Chains A and B, each alone.
With several copies, the nearest count.
Chain A
Amino acid sequence: MASSTSLRLVLSSEVRLIDLIHQSAEKVAQLAGFDEDEALNIGLAVREGAINAIVHGNRSDPNLEVNITLRASDEGFSAHITDEGEGFDPDAAPDPTEEDNLLATSGRGMLLMRAFVDDIVYSRREARGMEVTMTKRRTTG
């Protein structure tokens, strides 16, 4: 394996491109040495991050771009997702597993992301929008 394989996707904000993003993340996770099942989960985390960037960040405006950089290295997998939206405060999002929220029909995306990667860092971009970085380390041994 080369020390680092990278694939960057720049797309118009359309939900119908989401399966491609998922497949791409899954493949890059496999190249990083994760097995099929782990790679599907990692793909799912990236999928959720990308849906948020497209739907919440860019409000599905096809003129706005979402930027996704996927990287496989000896350490593992990382994904970096940016949008051009208003940004948000991830700590303010309600916990979907609390009794009162169980019947909400949305609000579970970040929960899935957290479940399937090791670290997630959110920050506001200098220009406009959010920036999310997820990493999943390869536990060798």
Chain B
Amino acid sequence: MKVGVRNIGHVAVVDLAGKITIGEGDVVLREKVNELFDGGQQHVLLNLEKVSYMDSAGIGELVACYKRAKEKGGTVKLLNPSGKVFDLLQLTKLEEVFETYRDEKEALVSF
């Protein structure tokens, strides 16, 4: 998985591309988000547009990010989950947990 960060105002937009799966994507996601929190960032928007799919480990890592944000008094929100990723969020009922946006600007002002 590829990962890039854009800092827009007080929000870090994390652009993910590839699959969030065990032993690879999940580790990349964890490290990047930890780095942001450790650097004092509190508002993280995970851009899932280019994530093709996730496995249970990847989904678990999304939840771990969410919880870590809470601990630090911050928030993690989701942007543009694609077909399969969206289905998985529904299936696992995590759509009830995550605030999810279709439009980046709308997501940015929500923080």
Residues of chain A touching chain B, judged by Cβ–Cβ distance below 8 Å, are 15-16, 18-19, 37, 40, 44, 47-48, 51, 96-97, 102-109, 111-112, 115
The number of inter-chain residue pairs (CB within 8 angstroms) is 58
* Given A40-B53, A51-B56, A103-B67, A15 contacting B23 (CB threshold 8 A): yes
* Smallest beta-carbon distance A112→chain B, Å: 6
Q: Which residues of chain B from 1 to 54 have any CB-CB distance to chain A below 8 Å in the complex?
A: 21-24, 53
Most A CB contacts (10 A, CB to CB) among B21, B24, B96, B97 go to B21
Report A37 CB to chain B, min CB distance, Å: 8
Main secondary structure on chain A at its contact with chain B? Answer: helix
A102 surroundings in chain B (CB, below 8 A) = 63, 93-94, 96-97
Q: Is the CB of A40 within 8 A of B84?
A: yes
> Using a Cβ–Cβ cut-off of 8 Å, how many residues does chain B contribute to the interface with A?
23
* 13 sample A-B contacts, Cβ–Cβ < 8 Å, listed by A number: A18-B22, A18-B23, A47-B21, A51-B22, A51-B55, A97-B92, A103-B67, A103-B97, A104-B60, A108-B60, A111-B56, A112-B55, A112-B91
A115 touches B91 (CB 8 A): yes
Asked if residues B92 and A105 are in contact (CB atoms below 8 Å), the reply is no
Known: A15-B23, A18-B22, A103-B67. A108 touches B56 (CB 8 A): yes
- A103–B66 contact, CB under 8 A? yes
Q: How far is the CA of A103 from the CA of B92 in the complex (A)?
A: 11
Extra inter-chain contacts (7) besides given A18-B23, A105-B64, CB under 8 Å? A15-B22, A18-B21, A97-B93, A102-B94, A105-B61, A106-B60, A111-B91
Kindly state the separation between the CA atoms of A96 and B84 in the bound complex, as whole angstroms. 19
A37 to B66, CA, bound (A): 29
Q: Is the CB of B55 within 8 A of A48?
A: yes
Q: Chain A: which residue is nearest B96 at the CB level?
A: A102
Q: When chains A and B are docked, how far (Å) is the Cα of A137 from the Cα of B57?
A: 27
Which residues of chain B come closer than 8 Å to A97, judged between CB atoms? 92-93
B88, CB-defined interface residue at 8 Å: yes
Residues of chain A within 8 A of B96, CB atoms compared: 102
Chain B residue, CB-CB nearest to A40: B53
| One of A15, A103, A112 near B88 (C-beta < 8 A) | A112
Contact with A along B58-95 (1 / 0, CB 8 A): 01110110110000000000000000100010011110
Q: Could you tell me if A96 and B53 are in contact, using CB atoms closer than 8 angstroms?
A: no
Least CB distance from A80 to B in Å reads: 20
